[in-house]
Each structure stands twice: as structure tokens, then as C-alpha cells.
Structure 1
Amino acid sequence: MTTPTKLRPAPVIDETARLLTEHYVFPEIAEQLAHLLRRRLAEGAYDVDDAEGLARLVTADLQSVNGDRHLRLKHHADPATPQQGAATQASMRREFDTSLGGVPRVELLGGGVAVLELAPMLFPLEWVAEPLSAALTLASRAQALILDLRANRGGDPDTVAFVCGYLLDERTHLNTMYWRGGARKEQSWSLPYVPGACFGGSKPLYVLSSNSTFSAAEELAYDLQQLGRAVVVGERTRGGAHPCDGWTVHPHLEVTVPVGRAVNPVSGTNWEGAGVQPDVPCAAVDSLDHAHTLALARLAG
């Protein structure tokens, strides 16, 4: 039997600090955090024997300055390959294969109102285009649509744009990503053409949110809300608007570092820290019933 290699925190902290200073979208905060990590290491704060424990301690320190929830040292139970982003992608693939491609529920409720749940993530578009297209095409025949993002933890901005293509009548500017330094930016637009039938931009649309809704799922809710296309029902979301990359720094540890920031063309800002504020606040567990009642009233009116 092979004896596991003893965890050595120092190389993990050194590499995490290096990646922060090279890639974090806010260079000044990166310097503060790198100094904090090295100081905590010298104080013995990271003298733990297991990778999962180290991940918890380091993540708490990484998020202690500006509360950026995308800034993490993530523990992976299965050993990760060293390629950039490989650890997260492998974990996502396992969830994709066990969640009907990220579309676990399509259901017709009473009164011609459909509910479409997207969970646990908005997976990469090259994976999820087929199941998403099938589900959205099926839901297109409903008189009103409820998009359930309560259990969605984020994912791919390209998938956000793909979904929006089914819910809007024309190509629309959704978001702009500003990368570190501010010199390079990248706009995100809904697609002018999508496979299958569209729900369109005029029928009633509701988005369910919870305090677990995060990242790209927040973008989907926020984009539709800011455009006046959807009514958000439920709880304030977690508040993570920074796209990030991941690097393996130990066989079971991956550091995720935000490399850009999102700016909505309508609000001129984003949902970082504040979360998406629901139009109709209520407990997440009650939000489906609330949205269904709202949809029925709108259709009756």
C-alpha cells in the first residue's frame, strides 16, 4: 500500500501567492492578499496535515479583504491533472453526466405555465447546447415560463448568451467583460439564431433565485432583469460577478483566480458582493408557487 505524500503547505502558498499577483483582476488587492498569505504561513496558521483543511483556511483568508467568492483554494477528492482548469472541468463533467445535461426538470404546470430548471450549473456550451435546445424548444409552447435557477452555482457565460437567445426577439448586448489592466474587453451578446423554437421576448417570464444562486446563473438572472425581460422571484443571490481561471497547485488543490470583471450595459455595474436583488422577495422554497400565481394573474389580465 502506497503511503500518501505528506502535505507541505509552503509550496502551495508560494504558488498561490504568485498566481494572485500575476493574474488577479485587481492588482493592488492581489499584493495585499499575497502578503497576508505569506504572513499567515510564517505564523504557522497553515500547519495542517490534510489538503481539505488547508483549502478551508486559505479560502477564508483569500476572501477576507474584499469578499470575492470566486477567489478560492478548492479541494478535489480525486487527484487533478496539472493542466490549467482541468480539475474544475473534470468535476463539472461528472455533474453534467448525472444531471440530464444540466436540465433536470421541464414541467407544464396549470394554466399553460411551464417551469424549466437549470442545475447544478450552466455547463460549457459545447456540452450543453443539445439538452438546452431540446428543453427550451419544448418550453417554447408554454404561455408563460418560469426559469428555476435556485440550485445553479454558475458556469459558462457563452451558455448564458445561448439561453438568452431563446428568450429575446433580437440580438441584444448582455454584458461586457473587462480583463485585468482594463485594456482588453469582450462583449457578450445573445445569439441571433438558435436551433429549435424560441419562447420569444413577449410572453411572461419569471426567474427563481436563492442565496445559493451564483456566478453565471446570477448573470442570467441579472441580464434578463436589467433588460426588463424577466421578473426575479425569491432570495438575493450570492454575489459573484468575476470570471475566473483555475490552476492546480497540489494534486488535490486548485486555486481559482478572477481574471476579469463584468459590466452590464444597462446598469453600468454588476452584482458583485450585492447579489441580484429579487423584484418579488420571498423564501426560495416558496418562490415557485409565487411565480406561478403571478404568471396566472398576468395571463388572466
Structure 2
Amino acid sequence: MTTSTKLAPTPVIDETARLITEHYVFPDIAEQVAGLLRERLADGAYDTDSAEALAALVTTDLQSVNGDRHLRLKYHTEPVPPKQDAATLKAIRRDFDTSLGGAPRLQLLDGGIAVLELAPMLFPLEWAAEPLTAALTLASRAQALILDLRDNRGGDPDTVAFACSYFLDQRTHLNTMFWRNGERSEQSWSLPHVPGGHFGGSKPLYVLSSRSTFSAAEELAYNLQQLGRATVIGESTRGGAHPCNGWTVHPHLEATIPVGRAINPVTGTNWEGTGVQPDIPCPANDALDRAHAMALTRLAD
């Protein structure tokens, strides 16, 4: 159950508009979004004393300009500190410790086919390298692998590259991140060698997706799909390709603002707004059965 928190909307909107103008990856769009917020404030659209209600109203307006799913005013039930690093890290660490390091399920199905679930997120690589190495090493002995990202909400791009490395036979350019105003860019590549067992680049690989799959989990699915390495099965993902930072604008409100954009070297674009489109569309609940059946057929052939 959530609680309502009274507030004055004007300082929240003013600060959110300022942060967007200064930090959003697309400066021209930033001016449009900030202008929209100020117009809506003047029109009385944000006349509420509930932080939760204001978050919903502002997020709808933020995303109405260009559909950026990472551009949000996020409501927190518990107060967030002005500098959120410690609190955010504590919450992420709790999720890490209760999910076996982000690999909560590894199961061997009929036909020598393994399913590995990565959830609830792709944790920072300094934490996740050990549990992922253990899980991927065990999975490397399978005849085919189903990678379940249906409940993965995102995470660390370095962990994406680390995971991709287990499914490729040579060092491969995965993604390029461009920051605001094109001042600098960073390329992401798979590793030339991985610790533990290597699944390799030839055995059948399937990725399960859902409407909840988001951000870095989408990148993992998109990278493998566009390289022709994996078949994506399930639902279109949420469509968030822009890395973002968060700023506290009220004790219960966080403005999350994209500060960069990802460009895939194969497509020259990304999955922002559209989501990763599955090769085999089906309800998320049916995706595992579909993938298992496809793997059995392929191995039989």
C-alpha cells in the first residue's frame, strides 16, 4: 500500500524542467519537454498535493513528446535522500542477495536443453561476474540454451557484454553509446576470452522476452538477435535504450533523465520506443514451451 505525500508542485516542476534542459541527451527535445511542463503547470494540470499523483501526470507528459520510456518522474513510497547512491545501492544489493546473484534458475529440460533465467536485473559486473560465470559454465554443457529475460528490468551494460561473450566465438562490437551533444562515445565489445565454460557461437540459443523486459535486458536480447546469434521468442519489450541518471526533486520524487543513447553497429539504430521485436511473437507465458519445442526440433534435424 502506498501513501500520499503533500507537496507544492511548482518547485518540483521548475527543478525537473531545469534538469532536463541541462542533462537530457537530446538538447532540442529537452527544450520542448521543459516548455511543455511549464505550460501544463500554468494551465493547472499539476494542481495536486499528492506526490504519487504528480509523478503519474508528469511522466505521461514527459513521455508524450518522443516516447522516451526512461524519461520519468518516479514516485518512491519511502523518502529518498538528496544523493541516492547509497540508498539505491542498498536496494540493488538486497535484490542481488535474494536472487542468487541475478541467476535464480538454471534447469535442464528434456533433450539436453537448459533454461537459464536472468532476473530481476543484470547486476553490476563486479558483483555479477562470479555467479554468472558459475551459471553460464553449467549451461555451457547443454545442447541448446534458453535465456529467460522475461522478468529482467535492466542493469549494467558491462554485464550485458560479459554475458554476450559466452555466446560468441570471437571478439565482437556490440554497441556504441553516444553522450549528450556528441562530445564523446564509448564502444562495447564482447570479451576475447571468458572465465569458465564457453557455450560458443554455434549451438542453438533462444531468448525469452516480455512486456516487462527493459533497458539492459533489452540490449542483451537485441545484441544477440541482430548478430544472428539468437532467436527471440515472446512479446515486444518495453523499449528503453537510453541510459539515465536520477535526481531527487522532492523527498518522494526522482527525476530520471537519459544522458546517452545506444547505437547498434548492425542496425545503426536501437530499440528505443519500439522495443525488441520478437522473431517468434507469442504470449510471454507460452514462450518457454515454444522455445523448448523449437530447440527439440532443431536438434532432431
| Contact 1:237 1:277 (8 Å CA) reproduced | yes
* Distance in 2 between residues matched to 1:275 and 1:298, nearest whole Å: 27
In the alignment, is residue 240 of structure 1 matched against residue 232 of structure 2?
Answer: no
* CA distance, structure 2, for counterparts of residue 66 and residue 248 of structure 1: 23
Relative distance call for 1:149 and 1:90 in structure 2 (3 A) is same
Q: How much does 1:23 deviate? A: 0.7
Query: Do the aligned partners of 1:85 and 1:248 also contact (CA within 8 Å) in 2?
Result: no
Cα distance 1:86–1:25, how it changes in 2: closer, same or farther (>3 A)?
Answer: farther
**Aligned partners of 1:181, 1:45: CA distance in 2, in Å?**
32
Q: 1:156-209 CA distances to partner (integer Å, 9 max, x unpaired)?
A: 111100101111112110000111111311100112222211111111100011
- Structure 2 residue aligned with 1:28: 28
**Residue pair 2:102, 2:120 contacting (<8 A) in 1 also:** yes
For residue 122 of structure 1, what is the amino acid of its counterpart? L
Distance 1:221 1:104, change over 3 A: same
Match of 1:92 in 2: 92
Q: What is the deviation of 1:35?
A: 1.1
The CA distance in 1 between the partners of 2:84 and 2:157, in whole Å, is 19
The number of aligned residues is 298
2:188 maps to 188
**Structure 1 counterpart SS, 2:101:** helix
User: Is the aligned partner of 1:172 residue 2:172?
Assistant: yes
One-letter amino acid matched to 2:49: D
Q: Does the 8 A contact of 1:207 with 1:230 survive in 2?
A: yes
TM-fit CA distance, 1:24: 0.5
Once residues 52 and 95 of structure 1 are traced to their aligned partners in structure 2, the CA distance between those partners, rounded to angstroms, is: 24
Shift of 1:96: 2.2
Gaps of 5+ in 2: none
**CA-CA distance at 1:49 after TM superposition:** 2.0
1:53 is aligned to: 53
Partner in structure 2 of residue 270 of structure 1: 270
Query: Residue by residue, what CA displacement relative to the aligned partner does 1:21-77 show, whole Å, maximum 9, x if unpaired?
Result: 011011111111111111222222222222211111111111011110000011122
Task: Report how far residue 93 of structure 1 moved.
Answer: 2.9
Contact kept? 1:167, 1:198, Cα under 8 Å = yes
Asked whether the equivalents of residues 263 and 269 of structure 2 are also in contact (C-alpha less than 8 Å), the reply is yes
Find the residue that maps to 2:182 and give its secondary structure: coil
TM-score, normalised via structure 1 length: 0.95
* Superposition CA RMSD, Å: 1.6
Q: Which residue of 1 aligns with 2:9?
A: 9
CA distance in 2, matches of 1:5, 1:57: 15
Q: Percent identity?
A: 78
Mapped partners of 2:65, 2:90: distance in 1: 30
Give 1:109's aligned residue.
Answer: 109
Q: Would the aligned equivalents of 2:5 and 2:51 in 1 still touch at CA under 8 Å? A: no
Q: Secondary structure at the match of 1:181?
A: helix
Q: 1:237 Cα shift? A: 1.2
CA contact (8 A) 2:114 2:139 kept: yes
| Residue identity matched to 1:103 | A
- 1:155 partner SS: coil
Tell me the equivalent position of 1:159. Answer: 159
Cα distance in 1, alignment partners of residues 87 and 53 from structure 2: 18
The answer (yes or no) to whether the contact 1:87–1:254 under 8 Å persists in 2 is no
Q: Which runs of 4+ in 1 moved over 3 A?
A: 84-91
What secondary structure, in the 3-state scheme, does the structure 2 residue paired with 1:232 have? strand
Could you report, residue by residue, the CA deviation over 1:120-171 in whole angstroms, capped at 9, with x for unpaired residues? 1111112222211111111111110000011111111111001011111121
